[in-house]
Amino acid sequence: MDVFATPAGAVDSLMARGAAFLGTRYAILGGAMSWVSERNLVAALSNAGAFGVIACGAMMPDRLAEEIAGTQALTDKPFGVNLITMHPNLMELVQVCLDAKVGHIVFAGGIPPGPAIKAAKEGGAKVICFAPALALAKKLVRSGADALVIEGSEAGGHIGPVSLTVLAQEILPHIRDVPVFVAGGIGRGEAILSYLEMGAAGVQIGTRFVCATESIAHPNFKRAFIRGAARDAMPTVQLDESFPVIPVRALQNEGTKRFLEHQAEVIRRYKAGEVAKEAGQLDIEHFWAGALRRAVIDGDVENGSLMAGQSVGMVTKEQPAAEIIAELLEQAQAALTARRAGA
Ligand SMILES: Cc1cc2nc3c(=O)[nH]c(=O)nc-3n(C[C@H](O)[C@H](O)[C@H](O)COP(=O)(O)O)c2cc1C
């Protein structure tokens, strides 16, 4: 399906601000997904008129430079790079993006340090930040963010505690100076339309793009998404508040069961005086190390991490990125047309 054959309509005009900011036809960001959002998916999304975003994750600067160059070889359309703020080489990674003339840097995983925002902007890139609450959204705009993403707890991967339904109401009416993109649980065009009408500049979608034909995710990983229902995509369970775990939404599997047993065992050893608190905490944190790679690349869907959002139930088959985007836009446009006709 040729995404550019989608009838231009009022949805385009609702997306105009976000699309102008991204330099794309559609205000749809491909949410960066570690291991999944590499050159092939990113270029496919950008070539289809959306905005692909490379997930830098734990990549070191040389590796990121390679991935950006690889993406540039596959598309001449704009795309972004998502950098995790606690990466030890954050400033170098920003420089790699600037050297490669990447137009947009997305800072994720925490509030970005002032010098990183400053360097990105002075180097000519636009800065996109995640805002978990209204007060922080305002602070980020004051600190120089050119756009914000608000991500609800419906999303796949690391999540905050509040749903997009609520975050959108709390934040969209109050942030007008910069475009705000919404993320989490978006699986159909009707939802895109409703958030645009609430004042969102566009959307960010992850889960729906995992099974794009161009995505290099292992066939087992894609199969798990095609089979998965919303209720299977659950946040990690914390057994004891003295051993906090970072909430990650993922499909339940053997790994998630073993994680509970692992926590129980660490807590038992701590209570028996066999392990110090810090060592126990580290032990729990290390449980998932490398687990997303194991699932996405190696296809170990039993023990790896199957990070997925609640929209996973709306992933029903493998299909080209352009077709997914065209479907979303058609659904949004049809909903708008029907409403206007009925009004
Ligand atoms: C497998 C997977 C890996 C992800 N990895 C990252 C990441 O490395 N950095 C990041 O900022 N967000 C990451 N996310 C979140 C996405 O960028 C996006 O915001 C989220 O998927 C949107 O919600 P949705 O999945 O409901 O569409 C990941 C999500 C998934 C499903």
Cβ count near 227 (within 10 Å): 14
Q: Looking at this protein, which amino acid is placed at residue 200? A: A
Gap from CA of 308 to ligand 1 centroid (Å): 8
215 lines ligand 1 (CB under 6 A): no
Beta partners for 183?
151, 204
Q: Relative to the CA of 206, which ligand 1 atom is closest?
A: 21
Q: What is the mean pLDDT of the chain?
A: 96
- pLDDT tens string 177-205: 999 999 999 999 999 999 999 999 999 99
CA–CA separation, 336 vs 6, rounded Å? 14
- pLDDT tens string 272-327: 999 999 999 999 999 999 999 999 999 999 999 999 999 999 999 999 999 999 99
8 A C-beta contact, residue 284 and residue 332: no
154 lines ligand 1 (CB under 6 A): yes
Residue 217, pLDDT above cutoff 90: yes
61 lines ligand 1 (CB under 6 A): no
Cβ count near 87 (within 10 Å): 20
pLDDT at 5: 44
8 A C-beta contact, residue 22 and residue 104: yes
Residue range 38-64: mean pLDDT, rounded:
98
pLDDT at 216: 98
Query: H-helix or E-strand containing 286?
Result: helix 277-286
Q: How many Cα atoms occupy the beta-carbon half-sphere of 244 within 13 Å?
A: 2
Residue range 17-21: mean pLDDT, rounded:
98
pLDDT at 343: 60
Pairing of strands 233-235, 248-251: antiparallel
Residue 69, pLDDT above cutoff 70: yes
CA–CA separation, 55 vs 233, rounded Å? 21
Residue range 221-242: mean pLDDT, rounded:
97
Gap from CA of 101 to ligand 1 centroid (Å): 24
CA–CA separation, 325 vs 27, rounded Å? 11
Gap from CA of 337 to ligand 1 centroid (Å): 31
Beta partners for 235?
249
206 lines ligand 1 (CB under 6 A): yes
Q: Relative to the CA of 130, which ligand 1 atom is closest?
A: 11
183 lines ligand 1 (CB under 6 A): yes
82 lines ligand 1 (CB under 6 A): yes
List all residues 6 or more positions away from 3 whose beta carbon is below 8 Å from its beta carbon. 48, 49, 322, 323, 325, 326, 329
Residue 6, pLDDT above cutoff 80: no
201 lines ligand 1 (CB under 6 A): no
Q: How confident is the model at residue 71 (pLDDT cuts 50, 70, 90)?
A: very high
Q: pTM of the entire structure? A: 0.96
Residue 324 C-alpha from the chain's centroid:
16
30 lines ligand 1 (CB under 6 A): no
Gap from CA of 7 to ligand 1 centroid (Å): 29
57 lines ligand 1 (CB under 6 A): yes
Gap from CA of 282 to ligand 1 centroid (Å): 24
- pLDDT tens string 72-121: 999 999 999 999 999 999 999 999 999 999 999 999 999 999 999 999 99
Output the furthest CA–CA distance in the chain (Å, rounded).
70
